Amino acid sequence: MAIKRLNRQFGQGDPEFLKGIMLLSRYTHQNLISLLGYCDEEDEKVLIYELASKGSLDKHLSDPGLTSAQRIKICLGVAKGLSYLHDPQGTHQRVLHCDIKSANILLDDSLTAKLADFGLSKIGPANQQNSVLLTNALGTAGYCDPLFMTTYTLTKESDVYSFGVVLFEVLCRRLCYEYSNGLVKVFVNKWKNMCAEN
């Protein structure tokens, strides 16, 4: 098992903690991390997850030992997890993850991808073709849907955009950003321009 302790230094609070418990208690899928339990005593708030022994995808992007077939398997797993959250069958409320990135994709021993970290997630209405929510800025620089960043209109396509950035990371074998001299340099626009030229 793995343990995640609430750290208020990083802006985490009770709403994110409770949202993680609620979502992972109601939504179960082989490509979502499983919640095994939690502790909520006074100021101590801890989530207990299944162990994803290989850690997060961002740590494996440049691994030359990760084959193309394994990379495809991981990407398909993420797509299945997202499809379940977005619920094309209309059997439960739609979940918009809002922070799809390689650091939030965990891998188990067999390299099964598991979406994790649901603290920023939003719930949309069920049984509708589209869910549109107006909300404050969410997500991580480089992965955020530009349309969302300008309109604050959140849709399942916002998650799909972020997943597309992860696909580029897997293809390019590197993160979509780098830290240099205390600044974050994002490569997504450069990747888009390279694709448009070809």
- Residue 116 CA to residue 29 CA, distance in Å, equals 12
Write out the DSSP string of 79-117: HHHHHHHH-TT-SS-EEE-S---GGGEEE-TT--EEE--
- Residue 112 CA to residue 89 CA, distance in Å, equals 23
Active site residue 40: no
Beta bridge partners of 178: 185
Q: Is the dihedral of CA 174, 73, 161, 101 positive or negative?
A: negative
- Amino acid present at 2: A
- Amino acid present at 132: V
Backbone angles phi, psi at 195, to 5 degrees: -70, -40
Query: Among the options 14, 63, 99, 145, which is catalytic?
Result: 99
List active site positions.
99
